[in-house]
Structure 1
C-alpha cells in the first residue's frame, strides 16, 4: 500500500507584500506633498506679485493694480488709472512675458517683463522684496514701492482732448496724467474744424515723464469753408464794382489809368480765387494772407490821341481776414485798404 504526501495548508497574505504596498503609498504621498510644496513655492515666488499686478492691469482694475504695486501717485488727473482707459492701454500690449527673476542687492529680486507695442520691443524691470512668510516656510514677496510715471500731455489751441478714448480736460492746453506701466496711451483731438491726429506714447518704465504732444490742425472742412466764404465775398465785391462802374471799388483789387473809361463798359471778374492756410498763433487761429487775381474789362479812350481800345487786364491782389469759429458757425471778416 502506497502512502501519498500530505498537502501543505494555504499560507496567509505575505506581510512583505503588504509592507511594500504601504511603502509605495507613502512614497507617492511624499512625492505629491513635495510637488505641492514646489508648486506653491513657485506660485508664491518673486514673480507672483508682478503677475498679479499685470492681471489687474488687463482687467482694468486700477485699485487692485495700485495695491499690488504699492506705488506713489504723483499729482495730476487720475482719469487714466481705472476702467476702460486702463484696459485700452493694455489692449495694444503684445507678447507680454514675465521673465526669470535674478538676484539684486539687499536680498531683493529683479523680475523682468518684456512686451511689444506698435512694432517695437520693450523691457520693464520690477524690483521685489521678501516681506514675510506664509505657512511658516513660504516666502511672501511684494513689489518695492516707487512713484508712477506721468503722461505730460499738450494740445495746440484747445482745452480738451481724448486719451485712450476718454475725453480729458486740458487747461491752457496742458495736463499731467499719472499712469500705470507697461501701457500704451493714445491721444487725439476729434473735431469738425480743428483736430489732432492720434499720437501714441508707450510707457515702459516705473518713473519719469512721458511726453504726448497733439499737433492740432485746421481740418479740410474748415479750409474749404473759408475758401467758399472768401469766394462769395470776392464774387459779390466784383459784382458790386461792376454795377457801380468803379475802377477803385471797396474791394481788395483796383485799377488806375490816365485814359478815360467809357461809361457802362466796366466789368470785374475773379479768374483765380485764394486758397486759405490756417495756422495757430499766440493761442489763436490765423489765416495767412489770401492772394488771387481779378480781371477788369472795359473800353478806354486815349486822351492824347482819342483812340478807343479794349482794356483787358489782370490785377494781383492780397488781403487778410479775421477768423471766428463758434460751434458750427464760421465767420471771416476781410481786412484791406
Structure 2
C-alpha cells in the first residue's frame, strides 16, 4: 500500500496509534481485572486488612461465620499479631473452573523456616460497572483455638491478656496465623505453647504447663533459710519447733551455738494447682563446752548434725507462704 500524500500518512499513523492505545487499554483492563478485581485481588485485600488489624474489613472480605467463644483475636493488635510469625506470604497458584465462575487461590508462606500453604475458595458474584469481575470468598466458619489454662482465670494470647473462664476458653481466629499462649506472674511461670492455623475447621488446643516462678522459688527458699537461722539462734540442745537437735546427757558449761553449714535446697512442686515442698536435707554444727560432773573437767564439743526440712506451702494473692512441719 502506498501513501499518496502526507495526509494519508498522518491518518495511518493516527489509526495505528489508536489501535495500539486500544490494545494497551484492553491489556490494562485485563491486568487490573486479574490483579485487583480477580480472585487473587480479593485474597490480597483480606491479608491487607489483617495486617492493618482491621477486623471488620477482614471478616467482611473473608465472609466467614464467627463461632461461639471469645472474639478477642479478631481485631486490633491481636489480629495483626497472627501474621507476625508468617513470612514470605505470596499467591502461588490460582485455578479457575466451572466456566470461570469459581476459583481456588493458594497462598504459600514460611513459619519457623518451614513451608506451608492455605487455600481460599471463591465464587464470582457479578461485575463492577459491567467490566471488572467481582469475586467473594466462600463462606465458612472461622477456626478456633482452645486454651487450657489449668486453674488460671487469665492468660496472654498473642500478646493480649484474655479471660479464661473456668480455666479454659475457645477463641475464634483467622487463618493462616500463628497463635501463642503464655502466662507470667509473681507466683507462676509457664512454658509457652503455640500453633499454626492453616484452614477453617481447625480446632487446636493450647495448653499452659504451669510451674513456680523464679520469684516464688526464691521466696520459699529464703523463708526456709530464715526459719533455720531462727532455729540456730536458740541457745538450746533442742531448739523449739526446729528440725535439728543434739542428745546430750551431760552438763553444758555456758552458752552453746548452732551454725547452719549446709542449707537445704528444697524442690517446689506444682500439680493440679496444689503447691508442695519436697523434704530436703541440710547440715548444722553445734558447739559447746561439756562439763564432766564427776571430775569437773571441761571438753569442747563440735558436732555435725544432719537434719531434714519438711513443710507445706500456701498461696494467697501474689505470695506463697512456707509453714514448717512440727
Shared fold, TM over 0.5: yes
| Deviation, structure 1 residue 296 | 2.8
2:52 to 42, 46, 59: 59
1:272 to 242, 262, 279: 262
Which 4+ runs in 1 deviate beyond 6 A?
301-308
| Deviation, structure 1 residue 214 | 2.5
Q: Over alpha carbons, which structure has the higher Rg?
A: 1
Equivalent residue for 1:335?
A: 325
Equivalent residue for 2:194?
A: 200
Segment of structure 1 superposing worse, 42-51 or 213-222: 213-222
Equivalent residue for 1:30?
A: 22
| Deviation, structure 1 residue 209 | 1.2
In the alignment, the residues of structure 1 paired with residue 151 and residue 279 of structure 2 have an alpha-carbon distance, to the nearest angstrom, of 20
TM-score by length of 1: 0.83
Contact 1:157 1:216 in 2 (8 A): no
1:322 to 312, 318, 321: 312
Equivalent residue for 2:104?
A: 110
| Deviation, structure 1 residue 21 | 2.9
Instruction: Note the 1:162-181 alignment, pairs <5 A.
Output: 162-181=156-175
Map Cα deviations across residues 12-71 of structure 1 (whole Å, 9 max, x no partner): 954532431342133123213312331232132221221111111111111111111111
Segment of structure 1 superposing worse, 306-315 or 124-133: 306-315
Contact 1:248 1:256 in 2 (8 A): no
In the alignment, the residues of structure 2 paired with residue 226 and residue 48 of structure 1 have an alpha-carbon distance, to the nearest angstrom, of 59
Map Cα deviations across residues 91-146 of structure 1 (whole Å, 9 max, x no partner): 33210101220246796322111111233222111111222333445432211112
Equivalent residue for 1:289?
A: 279
Q: Secondary structure at the match of 2:93?
A: coil
Contact 2:187 2:319 in 1 (8 A): no
* Cα distance change, pair 249–18 in 1 and its aligned pair in 2 (3 A): closer
* Cα distance change, pair 307–155 in 1 and its aligned pair in 2 (3 A): farther
In the alignment, the residues of structure 2 paired with residue 110 and residue 222 of structure 1 have an alpha-carbon distance, to the nearest angstrom, of 53
* Cα distance change, pair 200–140 in 1 and its aligned pair in 2 (3 A): same
| Deviation, structure 1 residue 298 | 4.0
* Cα distance change, pair 302–110 in 1 and its aligned pair in 2 (3 A): farther
| Deviation, structure 1 residue 79 | 0.9
Segment of structure 1 superposing worse, 186-195 or 80-89: 186-195
Q: Secondary structure at the match of 1:285?
A: strand
Contact 1:223 1:276 in 2 (8 A): no
Q: Secondary structure at the match of 1:99?
A: strand
Measured on the aligned residues, the alpha-carbon RMSD in Å equals: 2.9
Instruction: Note the 1:197-276 alignment, pairs <5 A.
Output: 197-240=191-234, 242=235, 245-247=236-238, 249-256=240-247, 259-264=249-254, 266-276=256-266
TM-score by length of 2: 0.86
Instruction: Note the 1:53-92 alignment, pairs <5 A.
Output: 53-92=46-85
* Cα distance change, pair 300–26 in 1 and its aligned pair in 2 (3 A): same
* Cα distance change, pair 305–126 in 1 and its aligned pair in 2 (3 A): farther
In the alignment, the residues of structure 2 paired with residue 316 and residue 100 of structure 1 have an alpha-carbon distance, to the nearest angstrom, of 73
Map Cα deviations across residues 236-291 of structure 1 (whole Å, 9 max, x no partner): 11222x2xx3336421123335x434354543322111223222123222222243
Map Cα deviations across residues 303-322 of structure 1 (whole Å, 9 max, x no partner): 99999765433333223333
Equivalent residue for 1:8?
A: none
Q: Secondary structure at the match of 2:79?
A: helix
